[in-house]
Amino acid sequence: MSEQITALLQRAQAAKPLLAALDEGQRNRLLEAMAAALLLHKDTIIAANEKDLVNARGRISEVMLDRLRLDESRIAGMAQGLLDVVALKSPLGMVESEVKRPNGLVIRKVRVPVGVIAIIYESRPNVTSDAAALCLKSGNVCVLRGGSDAILSNTAIAEALRAGLVAADGPADAVLLVEDTTHAGAGQLMEARGLVDLLIPRGGPGLIRAVVDGARGVPVIETGTGICHIYVDAEADLDMAASILYNAKTSRPSVCNAAEVCLVHAGVAERFLPMAAGVLAPQVELRLDERAKRIIDGTPAGPDDFDTEYNDFILAVGVVDSTPAAIEHINTHSTGHSDAIITANAATAAAFTAAVDSAAVYVNASTRFTDGGEFGLGCEMGISTQKIGARGPMGLYELTSYKYVVQGNGQVR
């Protein structure tokens, strides 16, 4: 590990007890000071962002340039985001269980910060303040490693947040930015055993895969890869199914909870597929398996079409013979993010929700609801698709751990 990263992570570790010692009121005052500092330093941030935009122009798409762009209104939005987190209840200190053992020991399970959370993310600079806010509220030090396109913006934002912390007599090192935006910089975070308590990648499948595969002895929570399915059962309300499918595919195709695959029970395929084509075409390109192709027009599905996160106006469509066949297809091809059944039969729905091994399993609703805000968590660091640590939307609770506090009066074993 480079001396620079080691030194940064040692500062992060040193800030851990300072941050853990704060109470909720103190953490909230720090968040307010960070929000005020973003507004105070907005000209510096916008100037830095303009340099990033100049450097990036021609190298990244217009869509990506727009994601990178900051203006007064977006900075005001980031500041408001910090204030929104103030209003959330932190789980820190919550006693999850308390038992008195026969020997008189009282064992309490208490929520505590994880410690140092490192976040590796891509271009959008607002992640810098969002992630810092969620980490601070949950008592964690954050180490932020954004993409190279946004490095000047991220540096200016992090400096503003740190200035806010200092202004409110808080630990500036609660928010740290890694200046090395090379792969080597990210790689060092992935190997920082004992210095990084949790590593969260936020971004596209390539980034996530690189972090999950590259981590060495550092716990990772994998987020945000979504090949989500809508299964239309033989007993579905077909109008509802068409409405849900349309929403899940088209309302925001670039996000991880958008549907990528529709499976239709053979018993209703002849009726439903023309309805689906009617609502989706021509906006959505349909990639059809052989049986669907016999019923409606579209592109024949290739070998990868049922294993692709399009993040685009493309939908793979297949016909299955039964709910068990749909379940088996989903458990084989889903990324374990969000999958839905549309059915009026409660027993079929129960079999589906029991057997489908995904973070969120829906009955008669769009997969688009898998989101911290929509689930009532008030915020979100990402959507975990793994089963260890956190699963589904990660709010403040999912950014904490627990310890056992054991009170005795001399017990020995």
Residues 213-232 that bind a second copy (CB under 8 A): 213, 215-217, 219-221
Q: Work out whether the CA dihedral 21, 27, 33, 39 comes out positive or negative.
A: positive
237 binds a second copy (CB under 8 A): yes
Determine the size of the site formed for a second copy (CB under 8 A): 71
Which of 6, 17, 80, 281 is the binder for a second copy (CB under 8 A)? 17
Which residue, 164 or 226, is less far from a second copy as judged by CB?
226
Beta carbon of residue 357, minimum distance to a second copy (angstroms, whole number): 7
Place of tokens 């910089």: 185
Residue 62, classified by CB atoms within 10 Å of its CB into exposed (0-12), middle (13-18) or buried (19+), is: exposed
Nearest CA among 156, 134, 133, 158 for reference residue 144: 158
49 residue type, one letter: N
Beta carbon of residue 343, minimum distance to a second copy (angstroms, whole number): 11
Which residue, 120 or 161, is less far from a second copy as judged by CB?
120
- Cβ contacts of residue 141 below 8 Å, gap of 6+? 12, 13, 15, 16, 19, 115, 116, 117, 135, 173, 174, 175, 176
- Cβ contacts of residue 50 below 8 Å, gap of 6+? none
| Touching a second copy, residues 367-406 (CB under 8 A) | 368-370, 374-376, 386-389, 391-392, 401-406
| Touching a second copy, residues 249-308 (CB under 8 A) | 251
Which residue, 132 or 327, is less far from a second copy as judged by CB?
327
User: What is the distance between the alpha carbons of residues 108 and 94, in angstroms, rounded to a whole number?
Assistant: 10
**Contact window for a second copy (CB under 8 A) among 76-84, 163-171, 177-185, 238-246:** 238-246
| Touching a second copy, residues 108-167 (CB under 8 A) | 112, 114-115
270: tokens are 């002849």
User: Quick one: which H or E segment has residue 286?
Assistant: strand 285-288
| Touching a second copy, residues 76-95 (CB under 8 A) | none
Beta carbon of residue 175, minimum distance to a second copy (angstroms, whole number): 20
Which residue, 22 or 38, is less far from a second copy as judged by CB?
22
| Touching a second copy, residues 324-343 (CB under 8 A) | 327, 331
407: tokens are 């009170």
Beta carbon of residue 375, minimum distance to a second copy (angstroms, whole number): 6
20 binds a second copy (CB under 8 A): yes
| Touching a second copy, residues 349-368 (CB under 8 A) | 349, 353-355, 357-366, 368
206 binds a second copy (CB under 8 A): no
User: What is the distance between the alpha carbons of residues 244 and 226, in angstroms, rounded to a whole number?
Assistant: 17
Contact 65/53 with Cβ under 8 angstroms? yes
